A = this chain, B = another copy of it.
Amino acid sequence: MTVPKPSLELVRNVTDEHILRALMRHRRMTRAELAVETGLSKPTAGESVRRLVAAGLVADSGERTAGGRGRGRVGSYYTLAGGDRTAWAISIAPGGVVAEAVDVYGETAGRAEEDAGRTASSDQVATALRAVAERLAAASGPAELAVVSAADPVDRATGRLVHLPDAPFLVGDLDPAEVLAPYVAGEVTVDNDVNWAARAELAARPGSDTFAYLYLGEGLGCAIVSDGRVLRGRHGLAGEIAHLTTAGPGGGATPLIEVFGLLGLRRPGSTAIDVDRLLAAATGTGPRAAGVRAALGEAVRGALTAITSLADPDHIIVGGPWGQDPAILTALRDAAARHPRGPVLCPATVPAPSFAGVRADALTRLRDGVIAAPR
């Protein structure tokens, strides 16, 4: 039964939710201001505040109105009781860890970063994550919950980073939830960085809710957003395109990731793409660079075709260090134009997109947690 039982509790909860969300937007408000903000009557708003104070979700801040405002009776400012609780937004990449603590008002309550060097082992990354959590906990207390972006495929059920055979594995073997457990009271949500980037672009472009996000960097990734939802798949591995069949340099059917091996653009002793070498080889005006760009275009075209065929996006956002390079992007556009339903490619717009995505989700979850609190 999807429809709730009719009851007055239902409508009361709706009222309380309006009050709580208004306090999230404005930090401190009097009963009268709350009534105006929510559109409720003054007595109703006042009664809801009384309930919420009794439940411990809202507190009289002690501050009084007056002082320059009007000359009327002093009003009491109310605030959320758990206003100092925070959610953590964390980005884990091979280069290091970035974390921010956000409060229910959406403000940053703390920030910590830890460099891990370009070729860090998974142990080093775990250590960096632990150090960041330690500092953040010291600065702004433990977290209610954490939302994590990782530069590797993430198992949806466990939140662990997983290694797909022969695909780039950048951060390495890691269970963020386990590392963060001492510092986080509630749930730790983990997802792939490309999915978070796609969610950030989704939030940044209202009215555009069906697109794909193609990430071209050390690793290859793709996120599909359809009707405002990110496709995750059974194991959370949707968009792991390394093994997609495409056209290799010789025209033969080749898995996408192997094309970079054939072109000599994978980092030696690693599964990752060597971005620096790729940029050096593919940019410039010579015929050799043009040849590399054409080969990359052909290879990526297979991925674009698959995305277009299966997901029918309105456009494909291309992000990542070499995908956004102007010369390469042009080569990709040329290749895409040779397909009947060639997609529109556009560069990513949100800076630090995956971090923006986790941060927004952390805030949403923190706020929803307050609304869902028993009362």
Which A residues lie at the B interface, using CB under 8 A?
Answer: 3-8, 10-12, 14-15, 17-18, 21, 39-40, 44, 164-166, 210-211, 222, 224, 226-227, 229, 231-248, 251-255, 301-302, 305-307, 309-314, 339-341
CA distance A211 to B233 in the complex (A): 8
Contact: B340 with A224, CB < 8 Å? Answer: no
Contact: B309 with A241, CB < 8 Å? Answer: yes
CA distance A305 to B3 in the complex (A): 40
Quick one: which of B6, B17, B339 contacts A12, CB cutoff 8 A?
B6
A-B contact pairs, 13 of them (CB 8 A): A3-B14, A5-B39, A6-B15, A10-B11, A224-B310, A224-B311, A226-B232, A233-B311, A243-B339, A243-B340, A245-B245, A245-B306, A252-B252
CA distance A234 to B313 in the complex (A): 5
In the complex, chain B residues whose CB is within 8 Å of the CB of A231: 224, 226, 231, 310-311
Contact: B312 with A311, CB < 8 Å? Answer: no
CA distance A338 to B5 in the complex (A): 52
Given A235-B312, A310-B310, answer yes or no on A14-B6 (Cβ-Cβ < 8 Å): yes
Contact: A243 with B309, CB < 8 Å? Answer: yes
In the complex, chain B residues whose CB is within 8 Å of the CB of A302: 245, 253
> Closest 6 CB pairs between A and B?
A233-B312, A247-B253, A234-B314, A6-B14, A306-B306, A237-B312
Q: How many copies does the complex hold?
A: 2
CA distance A239 to B313 in the complex (A): 11
Given A12-B6, A210-B234, A253-B252, answer yes or no on A241-B18 (Cβ-Cβ < 8 Å): no
Q: Which residue of B lies closest to A12 (CB)?
A: B6
Contact: A210 with B237, CB < 8 Å? Answer: no
In the complex, chain B residues whose CB is within 8 Å of the CB of A8: 11
Contact: A306 with B310, CB < 8 Å? Answer: yes
Cβ of A262 to closest chain B Cβ, rounded Å = 13
In the complex, chain B residues whose CB is within 8 Å of the CB of A39: 5
In the complex, chain B residues whose CB is within 8 Å of the CB of A10: 10-11, 14
In the complex, chain B residues whose CB is within 8 Å of the CB of A21: 3
Given A3-B14, A6-B15, A11-B11, answer yes or no on A313-B233 (Cβ-Cβ < 8 Å): yes
Q: Which residue of B lies closest to A226 (CB)?
A: B231
Q: Which residue of B lies closest to A248 (CB)?
A: B253
Contact: A309 with B18, CB < 8 Å? Answer: no
In the complex, chain B residues whose CB is within 8 Å of the CB of A3: 14, 17-18, 21
9 additional A-B pairs beyond A6-B11, A246-B253, beta carbons within 8 Å, are A6-B12, A164-B341, A165-B341, A227-B232, A234-B314, A243-B339, A245-B305, A252-B252, A310-B311
Cβ of A301 to closest chain B Cβ, rounded Å = 8
Cβ of A154 to closest chain B Cβ, rounded Å = 11
Contact: A310 with B243, CB < 8 Å? Answer: no
CA distance A238 to B306 in the complex (A): 10
Cβ of A135 to closest chain B Cβ, rounded Å = 36
Cβ of A169 to closest chain B Cβ, rounded Å = 13
**Which residue among A12, A44, A226, A339 has the maximum number of chain B CB atoms within 10 Å of its CB?**
A226
Contact: A253 with B243, CB < 8 Å? Answer: no
In the complex, chain B residues whose CB is within 8 Å of the CB of A210: 233-234
